[in-house]
Amino acid sequence: KKRVAVLISGSGTNLQALIDFTLAKTNNSSAEIALVISNIPDVEGLKRAERVGIPTLVIPHKGLKRAEFDKLVHQELVKAEIDIVCLAGFMRILSDEFVESWKGRMLNVHPALLPSFKGMHSHKQALEAGVRIHGCTVHFVDNGVDTGAIILQEAVPVFMNDTEESLQERVKLSEHKIFPQALEYLASGKVYLDSNGKTVWNL
Ligand code: 3YE
């Protein structure tokens, strides 16, 4: 099995979806969650990992330069013999050097149909733009933010009376479907990032 580390900053609902998928015997997953790292202490996501016996680490970013923080994370990933990194509600931009080290082996889930609504507050952006279809994207991480090659997307309808919160809740249900699926495609070699930064499928 590929050893996966999940980076979090908060409640860890996407982490839970990854844990549930990889632990379910019927899925025969090619991935196992081997480590969870949070940059924020005492978040609910750490408890989700502890509950099922997955090792956790807290690496606070406060007082560290970006490159220093990223180096500490990288060292722990190497020490734990990690193959694949998943960003699941992890709220830090990663340095070029870190991204290069994990190129083709690091996934992020973004709550919008990229390339629309990159960055923070994507649901607010979608409501302000008046789109009737929103959704989420799992992509390889590159040097930009939310710019990497797309692996999977799922569309979600926007309802007339939606708030940021109600829309976020609906999109999260889709995130919890496509993130484990994309991880499985990567871990099993059914998808990879080519040398031009494009997604290639081998189904
Ligand atoms: N890094 C790179 N490429 C990506 N990180 C994430 C995705 C992604 C990535 O595609 N290179 C929010 C960033 C957006 C932000 O401005 N964070 C601040 C710190 C804020 C805080 O600590 O509360 C910062 O300086 O990084 C993951 C999603 C990033 C979310």
Tokens read off for 31 = 């991935």
CA nearest ligand 1 atom 18, residue: 92
User: H/E/C letters for each residue in 92-152?
Assistant: CCCCHHHHHHCCCCEEEEECCCCCCCCCCCHHHHHHHHCCCEEEEEEEECCCCCCCCCEEE
Q: Please tell me the distance between residue 9's alpha carbon and the centre of ligand 1 in angstroms.
A: 11
Alpha carbon distance 36, 50 (integer Å): 9
Flag whether the pTM goes above 0.95. Answer: yes
Q: Is 110 a catalytic residue?
A: yes
In tens, the pLDDT along 130-188 reads 999 999 999 999 999 999 999 999 999 999 999 999 999 999 999 999 999 999 999 99
70 lines ligand 1 (CB under 6 A): no
Q: Please tell me the distance between residue 202's alpha carbon and the centre of ligand 1 in angstroms.
A: 30
CA nearest ligand 1 atom 3, residue: 145
Which residues in the chain show pLDDT less than 70?
Answer: none
Alpha carbon distance 118, 140 (integer Å): 14
ipTM over 0.90: yes
